[in-house]
Amino acid sequence: MIKNYDDLISLASLYKKSLDKQRKKVLICAGTGCVAGGSLRIYEKIKSLVKENSLLVDVDLEKEEGIGVKKSGCHGFCEAGPLVRIEPYNYLYLHVKLEDCEEIVTKTLKEGKPIERLMYNVKGKTYKTQEEIPFYERQTRLVLHNCGHIDAESIQEYIGNGGYKAVAMALNMESMDVCQMVIDSGLRGRGGGGFATGRKWIQVLSQPNHPKYVVCNGDEGDPGAFMDRSIMEGDPHKVIEGMLISGYATGAHEGYIYVRAEYPLAVNRLETAINQALEYGLLGDNILNSGFSFNIHIVQGAGAFVCGEGSALTASIEGERGMPRVKPPRTVEKGLFESPTVLNNVETFANIPIIISKGVEEYKKYGIENNSGTKVFALTGNVVNTGLIEVPMGTTLREVIFDIGGGIPNDRTFKAVQIGGPSGGCLIFDEEHLNIPLSFDSLESVGAMIGSGGMVIMDEDTCMVEVARFFMSFTQRESCGKCIPCREGTKRMLDILEKITVGKGTKDDLELLYEIADTVKNTALCGLGKTAANPVLSTLEYFYDEYLAHVEDKECPAKICKGLARIFIEPSMCKGCTKCGKVCPVGAISGKVKEPHVIDSNKCIKCGACLEACPFKAIKEV
């Protein structure tokens, strides 16, 4: 039980010392990606090998005892997992397999020698340390600082690395001054809206009603995003610390973390962290003898994207259907249980301890005017280095996609980037867009948004009409059905997009599509509906030619839309075996035995059955 500020500081230096005593550390990534690749088995294997070896090599016993084998949070370089980092050398081993463990222990841990074949290698150059790898070199890992570097399940390591110091500092300040500090830092909500966090807090502080609540939105439902998941899994104490500070600053004594049910590991790590914090007296009654009490509950979502919206999320915690309501009153006045509520995203809370402990001036050195700090992005899709990255606000798309992401794989060319999930937009590849500094305001000006930070890269083989259809089918399915523009509008837009992708669209449809999109954008009740049309509007703006090709030439330039494909038989290759005619479900294929057959394209439904049936590969699809 930590009793006060001095207690915490002395405990921190104690933990720091024992951490330093571990002269060698093996950090095995235990984020979802690497766990899927078998990293937990690697952890067990290395742990037992270390034990075995120190028993065998008795002269080195004392030295070997200092090896710390840990499960860390997500290192971010998911493409190359399972990842193993070895300190103090800072070697990063990629694609580690169980068979490699023996060598890691005997060669690297005992002799300090690198194993080059496990290291990052590109164009003949081997990168020994993690920090040298271009993927990491160009990042600024502030929020993700601990992810991959400390044991995600250990409060000692968190404290040893300066954790919970920010809470102790905040508790020595006035609530008002904490709010002011967050305002001065310029921090804007990382969940997508970009609302000034400190302003939200001060509004809750000024509400006369009690109780007040702090709610952490961990309902990261955007397809293509996993930033919050990685923070909750890799550094859960930072989220708790941020919520604690928020509670003190606004006068709340109870906090809720709403985590989507698809993230069982995050729930698990948060539960562990909350129990540890309770045990250390960093949660519960009279924290650090300050008189301030705070408790945190975890609520699991049940699979509704719309619950990422504030009023729907609070309704869901209250045991209702997660449907947004008309605002005002806003969440800061009447949020959870009709009480004043601070609602922030996971990443926003993770920024708070940094602001308090580093100070406003230092924090504002990161980022650009009106967009201070860093942003975590999930870089996925058709890009060489997929994974989790963190860059200062204002970094250009070009730096993210080509310098950190390593460009497009398989000699393809870059076509578009989709930012902000189903609420965001698709940006085209041109000089102007690639040089956009990533910030809340600049992206909005081109019809996209930062959203929660999902960034999906698409190459030339991606059909943008199909992408728009894909997003619309998502929002249509997730629409809660409360307001008509969203419920009916998304359905109608989806109908039209489906019509276009199967080759039945007309030019009039494009106009109607635009009209509906514009109406839904302007009249829907909540953020989900208001932004649902963004993928349609942005693809219509930047990829209008592709839409035209679908409706006028009846052609899909990327050759993705099956309904627009044309299937024909190459007469010179056809032996007239009649197999294709027998499998065709609509009788579109005719011809005599041992003579070339033909497909009647008016009857053909493009099911592809004949393609599979032909033993001579005489049937082609274009």
Binding site for other proteins (CB under 8 A): 32-33, 35-37, 78-79, 81, 220-226, 229, 261-264, 299-305, 316-322, 378, 380-382, 386-388, 418, 421, 454, 456, 458, 462, 467, 470-471, 474, 477-478, 480
Shortest distance, position 130 Cβ to other proteins, whole Å: 17
Please identify, using beta-carbon distances, which residue of 82 and 340 lies nearer to other proteins: 82
Please identify, using beta-carbon distances, which residue of 205 and 346 lies nearer to other proteins: 346
Please identify, using beta-carbon distances, which residue of 221 and 281 lies nearer to other proteins: 221
Please identify, using beta-carbon distances, which residue of 78 and 588 lies nearer to other proteins: 78
Shortest distance, position 447 Cβ to other proteins, whole Å: 17
How far is 446 from 433, CA to CA, in rounded Å? 8
Shortest distance, position 380 Cβ to other proteins, whole Å: 4
Please identify, using beta-carbon distances, which residue of 316 and 341 lies nearer to other proteins: 316
CA nearest 222: which of 36, 448, 456, 32? 456
CA 18 to chain centre: 34
Please identify, using beta-carbon distances, which residue of 196 and 298 lies nearer to other proteins: 298
How far is 298 from 267, CA to CA, in rounded Å? 8
Q: What does DSSP say about strands 425-428 and 371-372: parallel, antiparallel, or unpaired?
A: unpaired
Residue type present at position 142: L
Say which residue the tokens 């095995």 belong to. Answer: 28
Q: Are 190 and 355 in contact (CB under 8 A)?
A: no
CA nearest 443: which of 508, 358, 377? 377
Tokens read off for 503:
């080759």
Alpha helices in 206-289 (DSSP H): 227-234, 236-250, 264-279
**Sign of the dihedral through C-alpha 271, 276, 277, 283:** positive
For every residue of 329-340, DSSP letters joined together read SPTTTS-GGGS-
Please identify, using beta-carbon distances, which residue of 116 and 271 lies nearer to other proteins: 271
Q: Are 465 and 550 in contact (CB under 8 A)?
A: yes
Dihedral angle over CA of 300, 302, 308, 312, nearest 10: -100
Shortest distance, position 386 Cβ to other proteins, whole Å: 4
Shortest distance, position 212 Cβ to other proteins, whole Å: 18
Please identify, using beta-carbon distances, which residue of 31 and 198 lies nearer to other proteins: 31
Shortest distance, position 471 Cβ to other proteins, whole Å: 8
Shortest distance, position 286 Cβ to other proteins, whole Å: 25
Please identify, using beta-carbon distances, which residue of 230 and 276 lies nearer to other proteins: 230
Output 548-554 pairs: Cβ under 8 A, ≥24 positions apart: 548/507, 548/510, 550/465, 550/500, 550/501, 550/503, 550/505, 551/500, 551/505, 551/506, 551/507, 551/509, 551/510, 552/507, 554/503
Shortest distance, position 576 Cβ to other proteins, whole Å: 28
What are the Cα distances from residue 329, in Å, to 71, 209, 310, 334?
Answer: 44, 14, 12, 6
Shortest distance, position 477 Cβ to other proteins, whole Å: 8
Shortest distance, position 167 Cβ to other proteins, whole Å: 28
First to last CA, the chain: 70
Please identify, using beta-carbon distances, which residue of 301 and 367 lies nearer to other proteins: 301
Shortest distance, position 62 Cβ to other proteins, whole Å: 40
Please identify, using beta-carbon distances, which residue of 188 and 229 lies nearer to other proteins: 229
Backbone φ, ψ for residue 93 (5° rounding): -95, 135
What are the Cα distances from residue 556, in Å, to 376, 465, 548?
Answer: 35, 9, 10
Please identify, using beta-carbon distances, which residue of 141 and 597 lies nearer to other proteins: 141
Which helix or strand (DSSP H or E) is residue 380 part of?
strand 374-381
Shortest distance, position 450 Cβ to other proteins, whole Å: 16
How far is 526 from 513, CA to CA, in rounded Å? 20
Collapsed DSSP state (helix, strand, coil) of residue 257: strand
CA nearest 283: which of 273, 291, 294, 272? 294
